[in-house]
C-alpha cells in the first residue's frame, strides 16, 4: 500500500515534475538515471529502471537477441525446448 509523503509538486506546461531531493536520495536515484513509468488503475508509478531478462527479470549475465535481453538460464531452457 502506498505511503503518503505529504509532498505535492505541480506539473509544468511540458508535463514535467521535480522529484524531491530527499525522495531521490532515499531511492538511490542519481541525475540522469532512467526511470520506468507504469499505470496501475488511476495511479502513475515511477521506479528506477534496470535492464533485465525479458522472460524472468534476472539482471545478471544478459545477452541481446533481436532487441531483447535474455539471461543464460532462460537461453538454456529455450535450447532444451527446441530439441
pLDDT means per 10 residues, the chain with 83 residues, are 82 95 92 92 90 89 89 92 89
Q: List, in sequence order, every beta strand (DSSP E) within 1-83.
A: 35-40, 43-48, 62-65, 68-71
Task: Note whether 55 and 72 are same-domain residues.
Answer: yes
Q: Where are the alpha helices (DSSP H) in the chain?
A: 21-26, 72-82
38: domain CATH number is: 2.10.260.10
CA dist 46 and 14 (Å) reads 18
pTM of the prediction?
0.58
Q: Domain range for residue 69?
A: 51-83
Rounded-to-integer distance, Cα 16 and Cα 10, Å: 8
Our count of domains for the chain comes to 2
Amino acid at each position: 500500500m502506498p505511503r503518503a509523503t505529504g509532498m505535492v509538486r505541480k506539473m509544468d506546461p511540458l508535463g514535467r515534475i521535480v522529484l524531491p531531493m530527499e525522495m531521490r536520495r532515499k531511492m538511490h536515484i542519481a541525475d540522469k538515471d532512467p526511470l520506468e513509468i507504469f499505470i496501475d488503475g488511476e495511479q502513475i508509478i515511477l521506479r528506477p529502471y534496470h535492464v533485465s531478462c525479458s522472460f524472468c527479470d534476472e539482471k545478471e549475465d544478459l545477452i541481446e537477441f533481436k532487441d531483447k535481453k535474455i539471461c543464460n538460464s532462460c537461453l538454456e531452457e529455450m535450447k532444451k525446448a527446441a530439441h
